[in-house]
Amino acid sequence: MLYRTLGRTGLKISEIGFGCGNNAVLMVKAPHEEQVKAVRHALALGINFFDTAFAYGLGKSEENLGRILNEIGAKPVISTKIRLAADAVGDIKAAAIRAVEAGLERLRRERVDFVQLHTRVTQERGMGKRFSFSPGDVLGAGGAVEGLKVMRDRGKVGFFGFSGLGDPKALHELVDSGEFQGFQCYYNLLNPSAGQAVPPGFSALDYGRILGRAAAKGMGAFVIRILAAGALTADPSAGGGSSPEPLSPGSEYALDLQRAEKVKAALGIDGKELTQAAIRFALMKREVSTVLVGFSNTAHIDEAVSCSGAGGLSEEALAQLRKLWETDFGTLIA
């Protein structure tokens, strides 16, 4: 396992991170014995970064991870996330403090290395089906950042960041503020816009090469959806994510399945090779601190870990991928 420094924090974390989210279900619904086995196996292979959140099983992921780490006496780098909703608007700062305190209690820890705001960020506060903060709600007086700073000053939080979901312009504003040490970045073979140029009108959301912008501010980046909710795996029929709505607009699962087929055809690879190509692709980007992968079993852990130190994709493969991106996958997406 190779390790990278997380932005300007000085933390050394494994290139492959253990994602404890809903999609892989392991840390939310699997029997305790299977969870312990997987965590032990990951640690033995050098994974030292675990990412969880209250939203994963409404606290179950945090509870299970905290209990297991205490049982086996392990102290890896942990990142958790707080999701603030409409009821936080009256006092966002206080709500952020309470959310962090509750997360620490579920994790059974006095302190956590990294906390990220899990609420989407859009130009204007969104009060619809998917609640979102405006940049002012995050950065302004009495906002989320002030609450996170209080917890940092109390020694409860090492560093903080945000989930890079919402409006790209608003996300760039958060990056430019200089207030954050890291963020979760939507980046994969099917939507590489966080790190690669895509044409105007690209059918997936254009994140405007936010990876480079964040790195210039000294921020680390945790890559999410590297396997596109299963579209970039050997068994895509088992994927699709835990929500009927795409995590990122324009990346509906049915569309990503079509894009994935075009990638396989262009590179001349099968499903297993596709998974490894997807992970190796992300690791080629020096601005990436870790690639978060959701595991369902120890075999998945082995497969992901084998990509660390395996080298990037060939120039020929990259040229084929650029053709796909430049033509928006042949503009055949239905």
Q: What's the angle, vertex CA 117, arms to CA 111 and CA 119, rounded to 5? A: 145
331, pLDDT greater than 80: no
Give the Cα separation of 177 and 139 in Å (integer). Answer: 8
Instruction: Give 235's pLDDT tier (boundaries 50, 70, 90).
Output: confident
pLDDT of residue 248: 95
Strands (DSSP E) along 182-236, which ranges?
182-186, 220-224
For residue 157, the cross-strand partners are 112
Give the Cα separation of 277 and 232 in Å (integer). Answer: 9
Q: How many C-beta neighbours within 10 Å does residue 39 have?
A: 26
Output phi, psi for 70, to 5 deg: -70, -40
Tokens found for residue 197: 């140029």
Burial class for 114, CB neighbours closer than 10 Å (0-12, 13-18, 19+): buried
Between 60-72 and 32-44, two packed helices, what is the crossing angle to 10 degrees? 60
Residues 109-128: tens digit of each pLDDT: 999 999 999 999 999 999 88
Q: Which residues contact 305 (CB under 8 A, 6 or more apart)?
A: 1, 16, 45, 46, 47
321, pLDDT greater than 90: yes
pLDDT of residue 334: 47
Which listed CATH number (3.20.20.100, 3.60.70.12, 1.25.40.10, 1.10.3720.10) goes with 3-331?
3.20.20.100
Burial class for 58, CB neighbours closer than 10 Å (0-12, 13-18, 19+): exposed
Residues 283-314: tens digit of each pLDDT: 999 999 999 999 989 999 999 999 999 999 99
Give the Cα separation of 211 and 208 in Å (integer). Answer: 9
Residues 16-56: tens digit of each pLDDT: 999 998 877 899 999 999 999 999 999 999 999 999 999 99
Give the Cα separation of 161 and 13 in Å (integer). Answer: 16
Query: Considering the chain, what percentage of its residues have pLDDT values greater than 90?
Result: 90
pLDDT of residue 24: 72
Q: Are 193 and 329 in contact (CB under 8 A)?
A: no
Residues 241-285: tens digit of each pLDDT: 666 678 999 999 999 999 999 999 999 998 889 999 999 999 999
Residues 54-63: tens digit of each pLDDT: 999 999 999 9
N residues, the chain: 334
Q: Which residues contact 209 (CB under 8 A, 6 or more apart)?
A: 193, 194, 195, 196, 197
